[in-house]
A and B are shown apart, each in its own frame.
Chain A
Amino acid sequence: MNAQFKKGALELCVLSMLTGGDRYGYELTDAISKEMEIASGTLYLVLRRLKEENLVTTYLRESENGPARKYYHLTEEGRKNQRELKDEWLAFTMVMSKILSENE
């Protein structure tokens, strides 16, 4: 898959999963790897990038067992970005389905 395309898709996945509340790395990567064949390592890179772009922030919180976990929190900007990317994605998939179905 085209790296940029993949990046866009994964960013949207991660941002969307954070709209419902803060999550930690394993939770996010585990849920996404269940749906698609994707190296969890890639998702950590995506998370890092989202943080660099201020779309998410992170904080540490103690876990019941073991050391503190890093939680990801969606910023206002991230929320806005998620909506825009989602619209773009939906528009894109609609256009794709249209072209594919017209040329079957």
Chain B
Amino acid sequence: MNRQEYMEKLSKALESFGSDIKEEIVSDYEEHFNDGLANGKSEEQIISELGSVEDLVKELKDLSNGAQDNVDEEAQREKFEQQAKKTFDDISKAFASFVGSMAAGITKGAGKIGEELSGGAGDFAKSMSNAADVVANKSKQFAKDIAESYRNARGPVETEEQEYEGEELITSVAFSDITEVIAETDCADIVVEPSADGSVHFDCDYDATPGQKLGYKIDYHCEDGKAYAIIKKKSATSGFFKKLLGPETLYVKIPDRFERINLSSLSGDVDVSNVTVKRADLKTMSGDVVINAVNNKDVYASTMSGDVNAVNLSAVIAELKTISGDVEFSGDSENLSVSSTSGDLNVKAERTKVVRAVSVSGDINLELEGIDGYNAKVDTKSGDIDLFFGNEAHEDVKRGTYTLGSGACDITASSVSGDIKVEA
């Protein structure tokens, strides 16, 4: 088959899809042929790349399934409108005949006025009641037809919306006497802020069309002093198949000196600021973890592809992990552990007793304050190692264990290809 034959076949096969679609695809294909030929391809090669006309037609049907639904809906609406119009016409006709017979009755009555007055009146009344019956029956049928057509045309949508309304009601709640918060989201960011009234508050802005909200659930509940907020798609992968839109952010407000927060998001960020919590577990797959001015006993933060950024964090134990992002820490922590596979680790810490820093290809920078010395076990395959403490300096040293000052702070730092620098 050559270009001309192929294009003729295409043109013919697309006939049934309407001239807009046909013309657009034909012109796309013509352009593709021109570019392909200009790139030194043969007509046969281009034809095989484009694929068979039969396959295209099949895919055009498959790929436009969604659009096809719209067409069906359109057709149904049209059918409904036609039915409504027909019923309306019937009613009009019945009404016309009612008026007609009324007029006939009057004429008849008037013609025989005097001698047959009662008879004329009787006829008039009879024809009127006949016509009224016709109208009444037609009206009933009309109402029935409308209800049925409406159900046919709108039925499934109506059910879904009802179902959805039940869930949409709550985007904001408050729970009291709570010691622990568990929040899970897929796309939404999680933001934790202090609460002003001692209660736990969950709140999310939800700005989307009913259709986009259909696949989402917002579940807030509490049990045994724990408050749960779960914002997720009903099915993890439904977004491929249907356009869905979830809330962008879940706001969590917690009282001061809170026991525990356990937050996880798939692709959203986790952002905690200005709170005091005994234990915080913060997880995200592809988002960032941001901690600002937080007082913790223990904090565990991890992300796969995002950064972990902790500023003014005060924690007894702090464990900050990422795979491909960077870790930044500033604050104080007795026992600090930071790790990243390919990112850098930057730490500015006060009063630390134990620091563990592990990276594969990133650099490690530790600036430690308020300590009177450290014992560093350092290792890198191809990076440089520089260690400073006051006036003491060990520059460009090999892997090994070095004691500076009192050696009180226990440091372990290892990287494969990154540099390691410790300053105190």
Contacts and interface: CB of A to CB of B under 8 A. Distances in A.
Interface of A: 3-5, 7-9, 24-26, 29-30, 33, 39-42, 44-49, 52, 65-67, 69-70, 84-85, 87-92, 94-95
The 6 closest A-B pairs by CB, nearest first: A39-B51, A26-B35, A8-B240, A87-B267, A3-B62, A41-B51
Interface of B is mostly: helix
A90 B286 contact: yes
A40 B51 contact: yes
Contacts, number: 108
Given A40-B49, A46-B63, A49-B63, A92 B31 contact: no
Nearest to A39: B51
Contacts of A30: 35, 39
Q: What is the interface residue range for chain B against chain A?
A: 35 or more
A6 to B, nearest CB: 9
Nearest to A90: B286
26 contacts: A3-B63, A8-B241, A25-B31, A26-B31, A26-B35, A26-B36, A26-B39, A39-B52, A39-B56, A40-B32, A40-B49, A41-B56, A45-B60, A45-B63, A48-B21, A65-B38, A67-B31, A70-B27, A85-B240, A87-B286, A90-B286, A91-B266, A91-B286, A92-B237, A92-B240, A94-B304
B285 A91 contact: yes
A31 to B, nearest CB: 12
A58 to B, nearest CB: 10
A45 B59 contact: yes
Interface in B58-101: 59-60, 62-65, 67
A37 B23 CA distance: 26
Contacts of B240: 4-5, 8-9, 85, 88-89, 92
Contacts of B261: none
Interface string B14-52: 000000010011011101101110110000000001111
B267 A90 contact: yes
Interface of B: 21, 24-25, 27-29, 31-32, 34-36, 38-39, 49-52, 55-56, 59-60, 62-65, 67, 186-187, 236-237, 239-241, 266-267, 285-286, 304-305
A92 B285 contact: no
Nearest to B33: A26
A41 B52 CA distance: 8
Contact of B50 (A3, A40, A47, A95): A40
Contacts of A95: 236
A66 B34 contact: yes
A88 B418 CA distance: 32
Nearest to A3: B62
